[in-house]
Amino acid sequence: MQSGIDRNAIGIAFILAGVTAISLNDMLIKQLSGGYPLHQMVFIRSSIGILFSLLLVRWEGGFHLLVTRTPWLHVLRGVMVVISNMSFFAALAVIPLADATALFFVAPLMITLLSIPILGEKVGPWRIGAVMVGFAGVVVMMKPWAGQAALGVPRIVLFLPVIAALTYALNQLLTRRLGVTTSASALAVYIQGTFIAISVLFWLVAGDGRYAEGVGNASLQFLLRAWVWPADGDRWLFVALGLNSAIVGYCLSQAYRMADAATVAPFEYVGLPLAVFWGWLIWAELPDIWVSLGIVLIIGSGLFVFLREAMLKRRIASGRRVHRRY
C-alpha cells in the first residue's frame, strides 16, 4: 500500500496536470465564445470527452466500475459541476481571463473551510486566518468602491466566478467522499454524462436561439444563442476541448481521491499565472493593480495554508515517533 506521503505526492501531480488542462480549456472556450453558445460547446466537448473517459474505465478494470450504490450523490456532484462551469464561462465571455480566474480561485479557500464540516478535517486558527486574507483578496478584486461604469460590466457578472467557486468546492469535497469507492475514470464518466444531459436539455429549450433575441447582455447571449455548425477552422479546437475535458475530469477526480483536500487544493493556484499568461499571449490583457493585489493575497494565503498543513503533519509524525521510542 502506498504511504500517505506517496499518495499526497501523486495527488499533487494530478492536480497540477488537471489545472494545466483547465487553463487550456478556459482559453479555448473564451476563444470560441463569440460564435457558439456555451451549451453547444459543452455538448461537443463532453460527447468527445466521455469516449476517452470510457476508454480509461476499460483500462482501469472494466465497465463494472460504473456501477454505484450512491447514484444520487453522483447526480448532485454532476449538478454542482454544471453550475460551476456555466457560471464561470458566462463571466468569461465578457471579462478578462485572468480576472475571472482570479475571482474563481476563492474555491481552494472554500474547500479548506468546507472540509471541516463535510470531511471532518481539522483546520486550525492560523489557516483560518490565511483563508480570510484570501477572501480579502477577492473583495479587492471585486472593487466594491467602484461604480458600474468603472467596472465596465454589471457587478453581478463579477459574482458569477465566486458562485462557480462555491459549487466547484462542493464538487471536489463530494469527489473526496465518493472516491473511496469509485474510480477516477468512473467519476469522470458521470460528470461527462451530466454535462451531455444538461446541454441536450438546453438545446431542446433554447437551441434555436429564440430566447437570445433582443438580449444585449453578452453573458446571456453566450448562454442562449442558437446552435451553429462549427466552422472548418474551429473543428479541431472542439476536438481539443473534448480530449482536454477527459484529462480534466480524470486528473481532478484522481487528485482528490489520492490526497487530502487541504493538501492538494492550494496547488490549484498554478492556474492563476497560467490564466495571466494566456490572457497576455492571445488577447493582450494584463491584470490591473487591484486584480494583481488580489492575486498576491490569494496566492499568499494558499501557500501559507499548504505550508502550515505540512508543518503540522511533521509535528504529528515527530510526536508519534517519540512516543513509540519511550
pLDDT tens readout for residues 27-61: 988 888 888 998 898 898 888 888 888 988 888 88
* Residue 259 pLDDT exceeds 70: yes
Each domain of the chain, given as residue ranges in start order, spans: 4-325
Burial class (CB in 10 A: 0-12, 13-18, 19+), 226: middle
Give the span between the Cα atoms of 197 and 6, in whole angstroms. Answer: 37
288, 207 contact by CB (below 8 A): no
Give the span between the Cα atoms of 93 and 81, in whole angstroms. Answer: 18
Q: What is the pTM of this model?
A: 0.78
pLDDT tens readout for residues 58-71: 888 888 888 888 88
80, 272 contact by CB (below 8 A): no
pLDDT tens readout for residues 103-144: 888 887 888 888 888 777 778 888 889 889 988 988 888 887
pLDDT attached to residue 321: 39
Place of cell 488542462: 21
pLDDT attached to residue 197: 92
